[in-house]
Amino acid sequence: MANMGLFIADVFFKNPVITASGTFGFGREYNELYPIGKLGGVSCKGTTLLERMGNPPPRIVETPSGILNSVGLQNPGIEHFIKEDLGWLKSQGTVAIANVAGSTLEDYCKVAEILSDTDVDMIELNISCPNVKEGGVSFGTSASSVENITEQVKMRSSKPVMIKLTPNVTDIAEIAKAAESGGADAISLINTLTGMRIDINTRRPILKNNTGGLSGRAVFPVAVRMVWQVAQAVSIPVVGMGGIATWQDAVEMMLAGACAIQVGTANFTDAYTPIKIIDGLEKYLDDNGIKDIKEIVGKAEMW
């Protein structure tokens, strides 16, 4: 059988399939269906310094080939994650990635400092969050802000740091290069696209927050394009996500330049999707005489 293992920033993944933050909790519920130790890694529910209750409902709505969500980073806070969830997750035999969110630079830095003294394997920074000190503008929408937050977190963390990029920007390659300049060990993308649905009877947005993040199959072509652009622009590892639902999607994303992939919304329609993708990738490699999963990364031939 082909080798499915790979390293991202000196962290070993037994295979390139990771579950995406916000769609997998901390893994306990899915572990009732299959051993999550089969996964390459788990990117945990977005975690903030203090507990957050999230946005008021309605906060999820279905869309053609996807969903809009404005959950608002509901989570129990970093201390609860460390005391109640991290130890259990580490015992399952998969890579534990802490997804970190915040409202200020200080929030991100403090959580990174706290995580430095834990057994978490990697930090993934969700920089799509609004910066309250900058009038609510997302941390991830300007190159200077991305470079700064990356630098500051790297100064305070002993863990590898992966920056999760928002697609809601003019030039994704410029943002990725800023993250690399700031010292990022890896990049993941794409986070959700901003969208809206309106109830034609009430004439109000369906989501209480008015807008939300679009994910699911509908965003896959955008994700492939952005992953390809970023992979051309940086020399650090790129992890691709956005609409991946089959092993064929995973292969396509890796051909575009992703060394690993994350599965998100597809977990809601078929909880076994990550396992099916792992099995499909193994068969694809064997059927094509490919000895190592890394051999397909970035191998798409452009016209």
CATH number of residue 250's parent domain: 3.20.20.70
Q: How far apart are CA 213 and CA 10, in angstroms?
A: 31
1 domain-assigned:
no
Amino acid 137: pLDDT = 73
Amino acid 225: pLDDT = 98
Amino acid 129: pLDDT = 83
Q: How far apart are CA 139 and CA 149, in angstroms?
A: 8
Percent of the chain with pLDDT over 90: 96
303 domain-assigned:
no
23 domain-assigned:
yes
66 domain-assigned:
no
Q: How far apart are CA 206 and CA 245, in angstroms?
A: 26
268 domain-assigned:
yes
Contact 123, 98 (CB under 8 A): yes
pLDDT tens profile 86-130: 999 999 999 999 999 999 999 999 999 999 999 999 999 999 987
Total number of domains constituting the chain:
1
Amino acid 173: pLDDT = 98
List the alpha helices (DSSP H) in 84-159. 87-90, 105-116, 143-156
61 domain-assigned:
no
Token output for 84: 């109640």
Amino acid 183: pLDDT = 98
Amino acid 138: pLDDT = 87
Amino acid 85: pLDDT = 98
Amino acid making up residue 25: G
Residue stretches of the chain with pLDDT short of 50: none
Q: Are strands 95-100 and 122-126 parallel, antiparallel or unpaired?
A: parallel
Task: Give the domain extent around 238.
Answer: 6-53+73-194+213-296
92 domain-assigned:
yes
Give the catalytic positions in this structure: 129
In sequence order, the 6+-apart residues with CB closer than 8 A to the CB of 170 are none
285 domain-assigned:
yes
